[in-house]
């Protein structure tokens, strides 16, 4: 946490930047108020990078445009209905919004936008006190009508007014509260937490797209576990991602010290650690983190108690992949995202066969082929899936996966393993067999691909001979 003096200095330095200085001077000259609001003011006090600058003003949209046009490289008014004008000044993007006093009807999640007449009135309508602070420009006066600075210093998340009223206005704020606990490391105040539990059902009036966007932001935070646990205990998770809290009911036969719920959160924690240690280029990787959280959701529906009391979850990987695809489709994630997460869930158990017996080169090739472009993510997920407290067992699994990765690397040097194809392409198959495009070409291609996986590269001459022999045997 920055000291108040150093935070104000950071904000003053920001206000002194040429494009912001020009902007604030222009609004003052036109007789309008201007203030830096929300996240940047909050972040100045907690030492975070100051990005995404938002401004509030007493000017209405037409007046904002009149001030901004002479300064801007380009401007746009796509948010005019909400009082927002965007512009690029000296290469920097800014958004300026007229003071607002939104009202909600309690049945939909869209506010009835009304312009306000004071900065204080604009701030108290915001979601949390820590986001309800502003810096007047060019005076550099901190405006904090709801005690946001005190809550920042205490690491506390609460609403400017009664939380029941705030969440009733926009229930998505409950998901945002969970995200801020994970993003900032703060704690939700008890009255605010109680209101989340009491109003959880109100999340149903929020659009699916807004919910999935907020869940995505939560999973990308440094510690998503904290926010996910908050959503669980308040009952919100059961409404937006019901398969997650359902895991609490199941005991994992591989990890007797943890239920599947705790195991899944631990896997998520370890995925995040491995992302950093392996310099994963996509970090924070939403595909990987979603797969980590949901990799075992097939267990509740596949649980069986065998003779002797042994609990099994046969084929929970395949069942889980289908459940993941269904849930993510309902949340309206894009098709590629859904396919990638489901594929990782489907493949996450494949490695454990490696510890039961030596894999042939053919099996290693199939592992790589089936993972395709998800291979690095699969490496991380499989390693993170080991949460046993038995050090000897953990080391054995780690050493086994080290060996598998070494074999993949060695084979990759010999043969472009990540892009395995038969030695003959479709045109060569048709020319060799004297056939036209159709089902038989596909069958021949698959025959050659299996040869390639089993025996490695054969070369054109040997592959041609094998293909002719296979074709003759079919006849």
pLDDT tens digits along 380-425: 999 999 988 888 888 888 888 888 888 888 887 766 655 578 889 9
Greatest mean pLDDT range, 87-96, 233-242, 426-435? 233-242
309 and 332, same domain (yes or no): yes
59 and 14, same domain (yes or no): yes
Residue 203 has pLDDT above 90, yes or no: yes
Which of the 8 DSSP states describes residue 313? -
265, 229 Cβ separation under 8 angstroms: yes
- Range with the lowest mean pLDDT among 56-65, 136-145, 201-210, 430-439? 430-439
125, 102 Cβ separation under 8 angstroms: yes
Could you give the count of Cα atoms lying within 13 Å of 440 in the half-sphere of its Cβ?
14
pLDDT at 144: 96
Residue 63 has pLDDT above 90, yes or no: yes
> Domain boundary at 96, 129, 154, which?
154
Q: pLDDT tier at 258 (50, 70, 90 boundaries)?
A: low
- Can you list the pairs that 77-86 forms with residues at least 24 positions away whose Cβ atoms lie under 8 Å? 81/113, 82/113, 83/113, 83/115, 85/61
Within a domain: residue 249? Answer: no
pLDDT at 257: 41
Which of the 8 DSSP states describes residue 64? H
301 and 430, same domain (yes or no): no
pLDDT at 232: 97
Q: How far apart are the C-alpha atoms of 76 and 53, rounded to whole Å?
A: 16
Which alpha helices (DSSP H) does 71-223 contain, by range? 119-124, 148-154, 163-169, 172-184, 190-198, 208-219
Within a domain: residue 247? Answer: no
91 and 130, same domain (yes or no): yes
Output the domain CATH number for residue 202: 1.10.110.30
As for how many domains the chain has, the answer is: 4
The model's pLDDT over 211-220, given as tens digits with 9 standing for 90+, comes to 999 999 999 9
Which of 415, 379, 373 is closest to 397 using CA atoms? 379
pLDDT at 239: 97
211 and 103, same domain (yes or no): no
The model's pLDDT over 308-346, given as tens digits with 9 standing for 90+, comes to 777 788 889 999 999 999 999 999 999 999 999 999 999
Which of 228, 302, 311 is closest to 262 using CA atoms? 228
The model's pLDDT over 270-293, given as tens digits with 9 standing for 90+, comes to 999 999 888 777 779 999 999 999
pLDDT at 324: 98
> Domain boundary at 154, 183, 199, which?
154
Q: For 396-452, what is the HEC assignment?
A: HHHHHHHHHHHHHHHHHHHCCHHHCCCCCCHHHHHHHHCCCCCHHHHHHHHHHHHHH
pLDDT at 186: 96
Q: Strand 84-89's sheet: what is its strand order?
A: 74-76, 84-89, 92-98, 54-57, 34-37, 134-137, 141-143
**Overall pTM > 0.85:** no
Q: How far apart are the C-alpha atoms of 453 and 356, rounded to whole Å?
A: 21
Residue 72 has pLDDT above 90, yes or no: yes
% of the chain beyond a pLDDT of 90: 63
Residue 110 has pLDDT above 70, yes or no: no
Within a domain: residue 231? Answer: yes
262 and 404, same domain (yes or no): yes
218 and 294, same domain (yes or no): no
Within a domain: residue 248? Answer: no
409 and 432, same domain (yes or no): no
Contacts of 331 (CB under 8 A, 6+ apart): 208, 211, 212, 215, 240, 241
279 and 132, same domain (yes or no): no
User: How many angstroms from the chain centroid is the CA of residue 294?
Assistant: 13
Q: Kind and range of the H or E element at 361?
A: helix 361-371
> Domain boundary at 101, 120, 154, which?
154
Q: How far apart are the C-alpha atoms of 449 and 461, rounded to whole Å?
A: 15
339: left (phi > 0), else alpha (psi -120 to 50), else beta?
A: alpha
Q: pLDDT tier at 366 (50, 70, 90 boundaries)?
A: confident
Residue 256 has pLDDT above 50, yes or no: no
Residue 255 has pLDDT above 60, yes or no: no
261, 282 Cβ separation under 8 angstroms: no
Q: How far apart are the C-alpha atoms of 264 and 245, rounded to whole Å?
A: 11
% of the chain beyond a pLDDT of 70: 93
Q: pLDDT tier at 9 (50, 70, 90 boundaries)?
A: confident
Within a domain: residue 246? Answer: no
Output the domain CATH number for residue 89: 3.30.460.10
Say how many C-beta atoms besides its own lie within 10 A of residue 241's C-beta.
Answer: 24
Can you tell me the mean pLDDT for 155-176?
96
193 and 71, same domain (yes or no): no
Can you tell me the mean pLDDT for 67-71?
95
Residue 104 has pLDDT above 70, yes or no: no
Q: How far apart are the C-alpha atoms of 404 and 409, rounded to whole Å?
A: 9
- Domain range for 338 is 257-419
169, 104 Cβ separation under 8 angstroms: yes
Can you tell me the mean pLDDT for 130-134?
96
Within a domain: residue 309? Answer: yes
Q: pLDDT tier at 173 (50, 70, 90 boundaries)?
A: very high
454 and 341, same domain (yes or no): no
Within a domain: residue 95? Answer: yes
Within a domain: residue 252? Answer: no
Provide the mean pLDDT of the chain.
89
Which of 314, 324, 370, 372 is closest to 347 using CA atoms? 370
Q: How far apart are the C-alpha atoms of 170 and 62, rounded to whole Å?
A: 28
Residue 107 has pLDDT above 70, yes or no: no
Q: How far apart are the C-alpha atoms of 137 and 424, rounded to whole Å?
A: 69
Output the domain CATH number for residue 377: 1.10.3210
pLDDT at 285: 96
pLDDT at 2: 65
175 and 119, same domain (yes or no): no
Q: How far apart are the C-alpha atoms of 214 and 444, rounded to whole Å?
A: 48
Q: How far apart are the C-alpha atoms of 174 and 123, rounded to whole Å?
A: 18
Which of 298, 383, 379, 312 is closest to 345 using CA atoms? 298
């Amino acid at each position: 946490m920055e000291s108040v003096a150093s935070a104000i200095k950071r904000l003053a330095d920001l206000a002194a930047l040429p494009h912001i200085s020009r902007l604030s001077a222009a609004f003052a000259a036109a007789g309008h108020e201007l203030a830096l609001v929300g996240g940047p003011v909050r972040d100045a006090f907690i030492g975070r990078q100051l990005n995404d600058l938002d401004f509030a003003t007493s000017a209405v949209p037409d007046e904002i445009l009149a001030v901004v046009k002479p300064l801007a490289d380009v401007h746009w008014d796509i948010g005019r209905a909400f009082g927002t004008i965007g512009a690029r000044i000296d290469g920097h993007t800014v958004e300026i919004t007229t003071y607002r006093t939104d009202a909600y009807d309690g049945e939909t999640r869209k506010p009835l936008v009304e312009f306000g007449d004071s900065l204080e009135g604009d701030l108290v309508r915001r979601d949390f006190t820590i986001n309800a602070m502003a810096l007047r420009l060019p005076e550099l006066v901190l405006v904090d009508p709801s005690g946001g600075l005190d809550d920042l210093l205490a690491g506390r998340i609460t609403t400017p007014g009664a939380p029941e009223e705030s969440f009733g206005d926009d229930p998505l704020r409950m998901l945002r509260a969970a995200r801020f606990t994970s993003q900032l490391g703060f704690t939700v105040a008890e009255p605010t937490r109680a209101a989340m539990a009491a109003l959880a059902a109100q999340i149903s009036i929020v659009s699916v797209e807004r919910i999935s966007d907020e869940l995505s932001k939560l999973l990308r935070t440094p510690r998503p576990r904290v926010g996910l646990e908050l959503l669980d205990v308040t009952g919100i998770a059961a409404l937006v991602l019901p398969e997650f809290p359902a895991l609490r009911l199941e005991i994992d036969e591989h990890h007797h010290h943890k239920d599947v719920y705790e195991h899944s959160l631990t896997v998520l924690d370890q995925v995040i650690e491995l992302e950093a240690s392996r310099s994963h280029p996509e970090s924070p990787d939403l595909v990987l983190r979603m797969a980590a959280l949901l990799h075992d959701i097939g267990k509740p529906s596949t649980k069986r108690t065998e003779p002797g009391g042994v609990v099994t979850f046969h084929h929970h990987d395949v069942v889980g992949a289908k459940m993941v695809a269904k849930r993510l489709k309902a949340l309206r994630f894009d098709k590629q995202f859904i396919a990638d997460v489901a594929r990782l869930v489907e493949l996450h158990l494949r490695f454990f066969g490696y510890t039961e017996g030596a894999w042939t080169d053919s099996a290693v090739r199939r592992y790589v082929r089936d993972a395709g472009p998800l291979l690095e993510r699969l490496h991380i997920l499989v390693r993170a899936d080991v949460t046993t407290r038995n050090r000897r067992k953990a080391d054995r699994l780690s050493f086994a996966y080290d060996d598998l990765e070494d074999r993949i690397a060695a084979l990759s040097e010999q043969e472009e393993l990540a892009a395995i194809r038969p030695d003959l392409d479709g045109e060569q198959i048709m020319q060799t067999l004297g056939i036209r495009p159709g089902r038989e070409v596909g069958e021949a291609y698959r025959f050659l691909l299996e040869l390639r996986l089993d025996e490695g590269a054969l070369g054109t001459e040997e592959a041609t001979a094998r293909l002719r022999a296979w074709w003759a045997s079919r006849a």
